[in-house]
Structure 1
Amino acid sequence: MRPLYAALAAAAAWAPLVAVAAPGAAAQQAPLRAEAVSNAPEKVEVVVYRDQPVDTVELMERSRQSWSRLDREGLALIVETRTVDVPAGEGVIRFKGLATGIVPHSAVIEGLSADLIEQNADYDLITPTNLLERTVGQTVSVVRTNATSGAEETVPAVIRAGENGVVLEVGGQFEALDCSGLTERIVFNQVPEGLGATPTLSVRTRAAQAGRHTITLAYLATGLQWSADYVARLKDDGQTLDLQGWVTLANFGGTSFANAP
């Protein structure tokens, strides 16, 4: 397992090749390229780091808080083993099933038998916060339920602010969400461009011939944390003790790592 500083150094070396996909970027790429998709890794190794001691009780309490904030805490090195099909000529390989807290510009690929031309990350996930921020100025549906009669009413509304509290424009008037005295919920008519259910890393390649290869994909990810507690039992001689350690692992992201060493 490589140390953290080695992964960061490697990521820095690849930095000139990293780009973040922007809306409309795909439309500007005229040539149609062969695509291959890697949906999930065959094997994953995880190393969770921390820069200061973590109290287990506080860690458990934080697990009950908002996921949208906690997914940015902690730091881990994820090393995946994948089998990919490399297209001949210029092609695109899309990596799915990544950790939700991936730091996209840290991704490093080893063992790819092709020239890496470009690396893009489409990693903005569908969350309530992202939906609101990406829908400011657009029309949505607000469903209001009368607490007395139980009747529902659906009205069109324009989201005018969403980051520090939802402000809606309904019928030419501005109001904050949940201030009407009725039970309210927002229904989004469509998913904003650039948001997805899972993060995706795509690389543009150029290969002399097509082939199937086993590669290593390593990247940093947030949303993982750990704490340690110890119990010491002093022996009768007063000179030695038995030390028992307990490690608590916390995963605030939306990705599980089954059987990961």
Structure 2
Amino acid sequence: MTRCTFALIIVAAAMPSFAQESAKPETGVRLTVYNDNYALVKDRRMLDDPLKQGINLIRFRDVAGTIDATSVYFRSLTDAEASVVEQNYEFDLVNADKLLRKYIDKPITAHTADGQMYEGTLMSFDQRQLVLAKDREKGPIFMVERGENIKRIQFSSLPEGLLTRPTLVWELATGKEGKHIVEVSYIANNIRWR
């Protein structure tokens, strides 16, 4: 009798959480870390933009940098029929050389340690110097030493295709318009307790 009462109390206590989950799914990240430095990540969140019926391009940002992209499992809690048509993992994160590479043949401004300012089209660069042209035809052409000499480089904007954090990009098919709460699970490597 006591065991039966105890079991009923546990089931009754769990009932409100089941009702709550079906009414409005809880969002957040859950992490299960395993012995061999890998983890199972479960991420429930509202997608940033409302979806339209049909195919949508979705950027799912802030995934672990060590994600195993082949392990991704997706489901929409808003539309059970929604599915990923195509997935790409974009990890081309911004760094100085990638940014400079994207600005070849575009204007930049370099400020040096001695207070000089060089404005011009970036012609080329390597680890030691930048080559800038004030005017390609008439000049002047500047070779500005990098390293400790350059204190700041100004760019007009972040170029298309460079990311500030790892991102899953999906072509997502859905039959339901509007905001979607999704659940994404994946394996991440090199996770350690500190």
Which bin holds the TM-score, normalised by the shorter protein? 0.5 to 0.7
Q: Which residue of 1 aligns with 2:131?
A: 169
Q: Which residue of 2 aligns with 1:26?
A: none
Q: Which residue of 2 aligns with 1:134?
A: 102
Contact 1:107/1:218, CA 8 A, preserved across alignment: yes
1:201 maps onto 2:168 in alignment? yes
Q: TM-score, normalised by structure 1?
A: 0.46
Say which structure, 1 or 2, has more relative contact order (CA 8 Å, 6+ apart): 2
Q: Which residue of 1 aligns with 2:73?
A: 108
Q: Which residue of 1 aligns with 2:3?
A: none
Provide the secondary structure at the position in 1 that maps to 2:164. Answer: coil
Contact 1:140/1:159, CA 8 A, preserved across alignment: no
Name which one, 1 or 2, has greater alpha-carbon Rg: 2
Q: Percentage identity across aligned positions?
A: 24
Tell me how many residue pairs correspond in the alignment. 157
RMSD across aligned positions (CA): 3.7
C-alpha change, 1:155 and 1:90, in structure 2 (3 Å) is closer
Supply the distance in 1 between the matched residues of 2:97 and 2:107 (Cα, whole angstroms): 16
Supply the distance in 2 between the matched residues of 1:207 and 1:183 (Cα, whole angstroms): 50
User: Any gaps of 5 or more consecutive residues in structure 1?
Assistant: 1-40, 52-73, 227-246, 249-261
Contact 2:131/2:143, CA 8 A, preserved across alignment: yes
1:102 shift after superposition: 4.1
Supply the distance in 1 between the matched residues of 2:187 and 2:106 (Cα, whole angstroms): 34
1:1-261 to 2 correspondences below 5 Å = 42-48=27-33, 76-83=39-46, 87-111=52-76, 112-136=80-104, 138-146=106-114, 151-156=115-120, 158=122, 160-162=124-126, 165-170=127-132, 171-172=140-141, 174-178=143-147, 182=149, 184-210=151-177, 214-221=181-188, 224-226=190-192, 247-248=193-194
User: Any gaps of 5 or more consecutive residues in structure 2?
Assistant: 1-25, 133-139
Provide the secondary structure at the position in 1 that maps to 2:109. Answer: strand
Contact 1:159/1:166, CA 8 A, preserved across alignment: no
Supply the distance in 1 between the matched residues of 2:188 and 2:123 (Cα, whole angstroms): 32
Supply the distance in 1 between the matched residues of 2:178 and 2:75 (Cα, whole angstroms): 15
C-alpha change, 1:81 and 1:184, in structure 2 (3 Å) is closer
Q: TM-score, normalised by structure 2?
A: 0.57
